[in-house]
Amino acid sequence: MNSYRLLALLVFQLFFFNNAWGQSESTIPDVEALLQQMSLEEKIGQLNLLTPGGGVATGSVVSKNVESKIKAGQVGGLFGVAGPERVRKAQDIAVKNSRLKIPLLIGSDVIHGYKTTYPIPLGLSSSWDMDLIQKAARMAAQEATADGIMWNFSPMVDIARDPRWGRIAEGAGEDPYLGSKIAEAMVKGYQGNDLTAPNTMLACVKHFALYGASEAGRDYHSVDMSKTKMYNQYLPPYKAAVDAGVASVMTSFNDVDGIPATGNHWLLTNLLRKEWQFDGFVVSDYTSLNEMIAHGLGDLQQVSKLALKAGLDMDMVGEGFLTTLKKSVEEGKISEDEITQACRRVLQAKYQAGLFEDPYRYLDTNRPEKDILTKENRAVARKLAAHSFVLLKNHNQILPVNKRQKIALIGPLADSRNNMLGTWAPTGDSKLAVTILEGVKNVAPEAEINFAKGANISDDKEFAKKINVFGPRIVIDTRSPETLLQEAVAAAKKSDVVVAVVGEATEMSGESASRTDISIPDSQKKLIRALVATGKPVALVLMSGRPLTIPEEFEMPVSILQVWHPGVEAGNAIADVLFGDEVPSGKLTASWPRNVGQIPIYHSVKNTGRPGPKDEFEKFKTNYLDAPNSPLIPFGYGLSYTNFAYSNLKVDKPEINQGESLKVQVIVTNTGSYDGAEVVQLYLRDVVRSITPPVRQLKGFQKVFLKKGESQNITLTLKPEDLKFYNSSLEFVAEPGEFEVYVGTDSACTLKTSFILK
């Protein structure tokens, strides 16, 4: 035991009289004994989460007088502070200079990697690889804890069916089953088996709840939804995180059934604590408590009271709790017990993280060098990125590209370091990112590369200004758009193949980055048309933080590789896939609409009373005059350089009883000429039930690797809970009757069998 730990133990021994030397560590310290020591003000102080402004400020507030507040026992946690030295300074103030010496919880948004940034979460979800996702979260925790951070504002699990919403980039897409599996994998990855280990961190599932259903895809907008839709479609991933033992929950900005989530008693107490038995702590989002004033719920004292009574334990940045709760106690509006309860939960989290035993356990100055941005981590990030790419189209097998060719590498994102990391990468460093131009040179040094920018990401200066708040993402060239275009066409003409890297800049998705037009900006559309007009084979490398509307490009004779925002190893990973060193295996986790008029769009729609013929117009059926109902590209879709065939679908029993599992088997064969991985997907249709069923729901998947020519008999197991849904009394039940089973390569698959639930 080092001298610091010994000192810390002695200090706490003084405060927690019930500890005796020789007792097991788990009884030290005792949160209840600590609560006994605390004044009302000190308890309220623990409910206050501040940021001294080191991170990305997402609201107008950056906390003031942080040091003196820590000394005065008015701060429970900090975020936006990183690095063993800086965190030690903050922790020292709390542990040495505040009366009760309670350590601070140090949080951060480690959304897709810490310094080793991996693909945006929507991209990561497209890998459908739970082991890899858990590994990615583990790696992020290893790096973040090396920098003194022990609490992560992740995973973000908001179901999103509206790609106008910029924050679709941060989650796992549209599906509650897949979203739940990913939520669980991420919580396990961050938290590991032992929260006191110096390389694990408390996870925080967010944004509770329904944030992804913001009306019209406008960020922070209202949400209104039936309970059956909530329970069946939107709540499962949050619940999966809770079931996986997530230590904390962050509330959302939106209202739920008319009451802002941050002050919603039904949500935070009835559902979260009573129904789901959540025993961690609840933190608000950035000033979401204060925002209840603008929502129309009252003044700061009133909304703080409402939020505390609803079940909020910690107030992020807004200081509503700090400045009003004492007054509310004095006026008899809340009881001290209610504050004690919130404080208890915050202290328990600190205890869980091992901070009482050693407030400096995450502060080893040797660790950053050893653990952060290592070669191994970068190699993992490269693999993660390659596995997140989705091949949307491969006209004439343009991809993979032969390395021994003349390649025109074109596009405003081809050599744009600032746009590789993607949204919500505040801990990453875009200067470390590999551009596509560099990646292509690394992977194919023998290739002759003709580079041209070709176009600006957007020619619209006003738009560029909005996007460039965190740095130059859209750089409008001093050359005219015509000159850029001519250079690109000339480069294409003298090459064998064209690779055009186009799409969205990093900040065109993410928080406060909703769009009503989600197509490729005009400047780039012109470029793509001009390149295709050269008659050269064209592969589009499409970068975005959301599904885009690409009906025109999808019809062109081109190949399209969707790469999201791939992270620090962007260029290398893209080159690996372009040249066939990696074979694409990603599948979409959100449907791609034909146009914004189809939004909200998702695969598990209901049949309605007036289903029409598939994608054909028929009067008085549910459809549009001017577009089919189906998306341009369905959920679960993604091609490979090889092909897969499905056959012999069967279930192991024609009938099952309630509570029984069922095995679904299918033979999958790699019929093409590359080794590759396929995501085998199982969809279920509950033919008749007491509330209208979706036409199909994802209820199983497995990612399998098959060598060329290889066949595998794949077994997917349907568990009793996979047949269940929340009925109109919100009971989780499976109702007897027929179930159709579809297995295949995406959500439009047709191979079908069925069984009966007795």
Contacts to ligand BGC by CB under 6 A: 55, 58, 109, 153, 206, 285-286, 511
Residue nearest to ligand BGC (CB): 58
**Spatial CB neighbours of 699, under 8 Å, sequence gap ≥ 6:** 177, 682, 683, 684, 718, 722
Number of Cβ within a 10 Å radius of residue 254: 27
Least Å distance, CB 212 to ligand BGC, is: 12
What φ, ψ does residue 384 adopt, rounded to 5°? -55, -45
Q: Using CA atoms, how far apart are residues 74 and 86, in angstroms rounded to an integer?
A: 19
Residue 211 C-beta: closest distance to ligand BGC, Å: 8
Conformation bin of residue 394: beta by default, left when phi > 0, alpha when psi is -120 to 50? beta
For ligand BGC, the closer of residues 183 and 633 by Cβ is: 183
Kindly report the three-state secondary structure assignment for every residue of 85-104.
HHHHHHHHHHHHHCCCCCCC
Minimum distance between the CB of residue 359 and ligand BGC, rounded to whole angstroms? Answer: 23
DSSP 3-state percent helix, strand, coil across the chain (nearest 5): 35, 20, 45
C-alpha to C-alpha distance for 524 and 534, rounded to whole angstroms? 16
**Contact between 412 and 467 (Cβ < 8 Å):** no
Pair type for strands 151-152 and 105-108? parallel
Q: Where are the alpha helices (DSSP H) in 147-246?
A: 176-191, 227-229, 236-243
Smallest distance, Å, CB 28 to ligand BGC? 32
DSSP 137: H
Nearer to ligand BGC, 316 or 457 (CB): 316
Closest approach, Cβ 206 to ligand BGC, in A, equals 6
Phi-psi region of 715 (alpha: psi -120 to 50; beta: other; left: phi over 0): beta
In three-state secondary structure terms, 653 is coil
Nearer to ligand BGC, 53 or 720 (CB): 53
User: Would strands 655-656 and 644-651 be described as parallel, antiparallel, or unpaired?
Assistant: unpaired
The answer to whether 502 touches 415, Cβ cutoff 8 Å, is no
* Contact yes or no for 382/573 (Cβ under 8 A): yes
> What's the min distance (Å) between Cβ of 80 and ligand BGC?
8
Exposure of 478 in the CB half-sphere (CA atoms within 13 A): 0
Q: Of 129, 147, 158, 285, which residue is the catalytic one? A: 285
CA angle (57 as vertex; 54, 60 as ends), nearest 5: 130
Close Cβ partners of 622 (under 8 Å, ≥ 6 residues apart)? 608, 610, 611, 612, 629
Closest to ligand BGC by CB, 57 vs 556, is: 57
Measured CA to CA, the distance from residue 449 to residue 418 in angstroms comes to 22
Q: Which token pair is 24?
A: 């097991």
Cβ nearer to ligand BGC, comparing 167 with 383: 167
- Indicate if 459 belongs to the active site: no
In the complex, the smallest distance separating the C-beta of residue 427 from ligand BGC, rounded to whole angstroms, is: 11
Q: How far is the CB of 62 from ligand BGC (least distance, A)?
A: 11
User: Nearer Cβ to ligand BGC, position 115 or 382?
Assistant: 115
| Cα–Cα distance measured from residue 281 to residue 291, given in angstroms and rounded to the nearest whole number | 20
Q: How far is CA 1 from CA 4, 9, 223, 357, in A?
A: 8, 10, 52, 11
Token pair, residue 314, equals: 């910690």
Residue written as tokens 């709540």? Answer: 235
Pick 109 or 143: Cβ nearer ligand BGC? 109
Question: What DSSP character marks residue 521?
Answer: P
**Nearest residue (CB) to ligand BGC, 316 versus 541:** 316
The answer to whether the beta carbons of residues 28 and 356 sit under 8 Å apart is yes
Q: Which is nearer to ligand BGC, 107 or 368 (CB)?
A: 107
Closest approach, Cβ 286 to ligand BGC, in A, equals: 4
Taking the least distance from each CB to ligand BGC, the nearer of 318 and 638 is 318
Cβ 113 vs Cβ 428: under 8 Å: yes
Element (DSSP H or E) covering residue 490: helix 481-493
- Tell me how far, at minimum, the Cβ of 7 lies from ligand BGC, in Å: 33
* Among candidate residues 605, 596, 600, the one with its CA nearest the CA of residue 627: 596
Question: DSSP state, 641?
Answer: S
Q: How far is the CB of 743 from ligand BGC (least distance, A)?
A: 36
Smaller CB distance to ligand BGC: residue 261 or 452?
261
Active site residues: 285
